[in-house]
Amino acid sequence: MSFGELSQTRRRAWLATIIWAVAGIWFSIAFFSGGGAAEFDTDSGRHLVAAGAILFGFIVYWSSLWLTRGTSEQVLSDERDFQVVARASQVALVIVLICVFLTCTILWTVHEAAGVLEVGWMWFIAYGSMIVGLVSNAVVVLILDRSTFGHG
């Protein structure tokens, strides 16, 4: 099945997965290169590159929504799509909560002895939770759309 034959929901989920995965890799490179969290908050250049990842993500994602808008005569999504998207949002929220919890726990464990934590990690949690939420939401839509979700 070609990309054009996919439903609008599935097409958008594939695009979102790719776009936010690229943004995630982009941010990770910006964050972990050149000193990591220790100098991230004071390095305006790296900060700008990291912010660029999010800006890139939203501009390309909104563009993809426009490109896949279809025509008004077509039935592009229906009740099943709405159910899939709604459930995916619920699952993605839980995934983000778990990731934030685990990240905080790991940071605390690693830095417990030192008694201090670089403030740059706050940016990591902020950007990271956003990207994880957006990627996981799109991936869960793809999984639920393929499954027998909606039965019963």
Partner 1 sequence: MGDDNIRNSIRRLRFEHEEMTQQELAEAARCTRQTIGALEQGGYVPSLALAFRIARVFGLGVEEVFEYGPEEGTG
Interface with partner 1, residue 80, by CB under 8 A: yes
List binders of partner 1 among 1-40 (CB under 8 A): 7, 10
Q: How far is CA 119 from the centre of its chain?
A: 22
Residues 81-120 that bind partner 1 (CB under 8 A): 81
- Cβ atoms of 104 and 67 closer than 8 Å: no
In the complex, what is the shortest distance from the CB of residue 149 to partner 1, in angstroms, rounded to a whole number? Answer: 8
Binding partner 1 (rule: CB under 8 A), the pick from 4, 44, 75, 112 is 75
**Distance between CA 128 and CA 119 in Å, rounded?**
15
Binding part of the chain for partner 1, among 34-42, 90-98, 106-114, 141-149 by CB under 8 A, reads: 141-149
Largest CA distance in the chain: 63
Dist. CA 55–CA 31, nearest whole Å = 16
Residue 78, interface with partner 1 (CB under 8 A)? Answer: yes
Q: Which is nearer to partner 1, 54 or 140 (by Cβ)?
A: 140
10 or 46: CB nearest partner 1? 10
**Sign of the Cα pseudo-torsion (62, 64, 149, 140, in order):** negative
